[in-house]
Amino acid sequence: MATKSDETGDPMEHRAFFGRRRGKGLHKGQKALTADLLPKIEITPDDLAAGDVRKSFLNPAAPLFLEIGYGGGEHLARIAAERPDDNFIGAEVFSGGIGKMLEKIDAAGLANVRLFTDDAYGLLTRLPEAALEGAYLLYPDPWPKTRHHKRRFVSQTALDALARTLKPGAFFRFATDIEDYANWTLAHILRHSAFTWPPVAPLAWHAPYDGWIPTRYEEKARRQGRSQSFYFTFVRQPDTGLGAKNT
Ligand SMILES: C[S@@+](CC[C@H](N)C(=O)[O-])C[C@H]1O[C@@H](n2cnc3c(N)ncnc32)[C@H](O)[C@@H]1O
**Domain spans of the chain, in order of start:** 32-236
Nearest residue to 149 (alpha-carbon basis) of 175, 174, 181, 120: 181
Catalytic residue among 47, 106, 141, 160: 141
Alpha helices in 64-215 (DSSP H): 74-82, 95-108, 120-124, 156-165, 179-191
Can you tell me which atom of ligand 1 is nearest the CA of 119?
20
Tell me the CA–centroid distance for residue 153 and ligand 1, in Å: 9
Told to judge if 141 belongs to the known catalytic residues of this protein, a careful annotator would answer: yes
Tell me the CA–centroid distance for residue 237 and ligand 1, in Å: 26
- Residue 21: what pLDDT? 80
- Residue 186: what pLDDT? 98
Choose which residue among 98, 141, 223, 230 to substitute to test ligand 1 binding: the one with the highest number of ligand atoms within 8 A of its C-beta. 141
Does residue 70 contact residue 92 with C-beta atoms inside 8 Å?
yes
Q: Any residues with Cβ below 6 Å from ligand 1, and which?
A: 17, 19, 68-72, 91-94, 97, 119-121, 138-141, 153, 215-218
- Give the pTM: 0.92
Can you tell me which atom of ligand 1 is nearest the CA of 17?
19
- Residue 247: what pLDDT? 41
Q: Checking phi first, is residue 169 left (phi over 0); if not, alpha (psi -120 to 50) or beta?
A: left
Strand partners, 65: 88, 134
What is the bridge-based pairing of β-strands 195-196 and 230-236? antiparallel
CATH number of 32-236: 3.40.50.150
Tell me the CA–centroid distance for residue 69 and ligand 1, in Å: 3
Q: From atom 7 of ligand 1, which residue's Cα is the shortest distance away?
A: 217
Q: From atom 13 of ligand 1, which residue's Cα is the shortest distance away?
A: 69
Does residue 235 contact residue 170 with C-beta atoms inside 8 Å?
yes
Longest dimension (CA), the chain: 56
- Residue 2: what pLDDT? 31
Choose which residue among 98, 115, 139, 209 to substitute to test ligand 1 binding: the one with the highest number of ligand atoms within 8 A of its C-beta. 139
Can you tell me which atom of ligand 1 is nearest the CA of 97?
27
Can you tell me which atom of ligand 1 is nearest the CA of 67?
6
Q: Per residue of the chain (247 residues), what is the pLDDT tens digit?
A: 233 333 334 444 456 777 778 777 889 999 999 999 999 999 999 999 998 999 999 999 999 999 999 999 999 999 999 999 999 999 999 999 999 999 999 999 999 999 999 999 999 999 999 999 999 999 999 999 999 999 999 999 999 999 999 999 999 999 999 999 999 999 999 999 999 999 999 999 999 999 999 999 999 999 999 999 999 999 999 866 555 564 4
- Residue 5: what pLDDT? 36
